[in-house]
């Protein structure tokens, strides 16, 4: 169980400190994830799962889930199993994305990729193990003060976000687009709305569902999340050009080297930055009815465009 008594609660005024807020919630998520995957027999697979899961990502997805649940009147405890699940799913997608059959990367989160350490066979299974655990974890660990109907809705939303209608579908079109220089903006948007934005959307939506959000508010949250989802990917493309390997914790400049069509390759760097800012502004506008309770989610939206990794 994660102790949450002394952490910064959702603020009621403008004294909100994003860096401290993110750090506290990263710590809570790291502790919960550490406890979620103990090493038991067969040790090798649990070690491989933990290697990537606890490698120190930014934890944007679980923090979005927790922040949305709190904004809608729920607690961190109610949303933590779902927050852990989205990070397990995200980590799984990174492990598989890095495989030689996909993006073939050697570094991730500042460390050698999972298959470089454990081999391709175990890396595939480590991803599979995390994916399966994500669903078991939500179903078993969500506290009883969250209605089972809401837990079922979370399972539905997560499944939808990562299957062929989400991450898997986006990844397939991305793979099909490899080596092609005539990819349209429509196709690029399809790829990233599915590969990147769908899971970010599920994080926000599921945080709201756990808290018992109304359907009108759910629509607002969905629009907020879709906007920050696309902004996240535009910034990811920009950072591939402007950031170093040390900052990114993974190989820099990969898109250009592979002559991949990206937002900066279509629009240029400056226009890409402007578009990302516009999407963040549109996302924040959706949160206006929530008043001061929306400060963390608005700050996270701005963090997405100001981050350097």
Q: By the criterion CB under 6 A, which residues form the site for ligand GRG?
A: 57-58, 60, 90, 93-94, 96-97, 102, 109, 131, 162, 167-168, 171, 195-196, 233, 236
- Length of the chain in terms of residues written: 309
Closest CA to 299 of 240, 235, 228, 230: 228
* Residue where the block lists tokens 């709305």: 193
Taking the complex as a whole, the smallest distance from the CB of residue 97 to ligand GRG amounts, in Å, to 4
Taking the complex as a whole, the smallest distance from the CB of residue 233 to ligand GRG amounts, in Å, to 6
Taking the complex as a whole, the smallest distance from the CB of residue 292 to ligand GRG amounts, in Å, to 27
Q: Which lies closer to ligand GRG via its Cβ, residue 58 or residue 223?
A: 58
Q: Which lies closer to ligand GRG via its Cβ, residue 78 or residue 202?
A: 202
Give the residue at shortest CB distance from ligand GRG.
57
Q: Which lies closer to ligand GRG via its Cβ, residue 30 or residue 97?
A: 97
Taking the complex as a whole, the smallest distance from the CB of residue 137 to ligand GRG amounts, in Å, to 15
Q: Which lies closer to ligand GRG via its Cβ, residue 78 or residue 123?
A: 123
Taking the complex as a whole, the smallest distance from the CB of residue 6 to ligand GRG amounts, in Å, to 25
Q: Which lies closer to ligand GRG via its Cβ, residue 74 or residue 127?
A: 127
- Please name every residue paired with 107 in a beta bridge, in sequence order, or none if there are none: 112
């Amino acid at each position: 169980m994660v102790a949450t008594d002394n952490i910064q609660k959702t603020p009621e005024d403008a004294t909100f400190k994003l860096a401290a807020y993110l750090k506290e919630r990263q710590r809570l998520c790291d502790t919960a994830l550490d406890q979620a995957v103990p090493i038991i027999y067969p040790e090798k697979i649990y070690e491989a799962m933990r290697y990537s899961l606890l490698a120190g990502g930014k934890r944007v997805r679980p923090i979005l889930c927790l922040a949305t649940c709190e904004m809608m009147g729920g607690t961190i405890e109610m949303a933590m199993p779902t927050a852990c699940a989205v990070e397990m799913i995200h980590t799984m997608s990174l492990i598989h994305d890095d495989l030689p059959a996909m993006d073939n990367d050697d570094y991730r989160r500042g460390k050698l990729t999972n298959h470089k350490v454990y081999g391709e066979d175990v890396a595939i299974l480590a991803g599979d193990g995390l994916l399966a655990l994500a669903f078991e974890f939500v179903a078993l660990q969500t506290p009883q003060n969250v209605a089972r109907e809401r837990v079922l809705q979370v399972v539905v939303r997560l499944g939808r976000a990562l299957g062929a209608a989400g991450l898997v579908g986006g990844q397939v079109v991305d793979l099909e687009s490899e080596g092609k220089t005539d990819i349209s903006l429509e196709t690029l948007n399809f790829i990233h709305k599915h590969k990147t934005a769908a899971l970010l959307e599920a994080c926000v939506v599921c945080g709201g569902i756990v808290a018992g959000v109304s359907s009108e508010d759910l629509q607002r949250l969905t629009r907020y999340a879709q906007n920050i989802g696309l902004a996240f990917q535009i910034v990811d493309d920009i950072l591939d050009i402007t950031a170093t390997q040390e900052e990114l914790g993974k190989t820099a400049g990969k898109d250009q080297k592979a002559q991949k069509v990206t937002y900066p390759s279509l629009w240029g760097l400056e226009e890409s930055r402007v578009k990302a800012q516009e999407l963040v502004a549109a996302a924040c506008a959706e949160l206006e009815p929530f008043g001061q309770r929306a400060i963390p989610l608005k700050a996270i939206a701005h963090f997405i465009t100001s981050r350097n990794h």
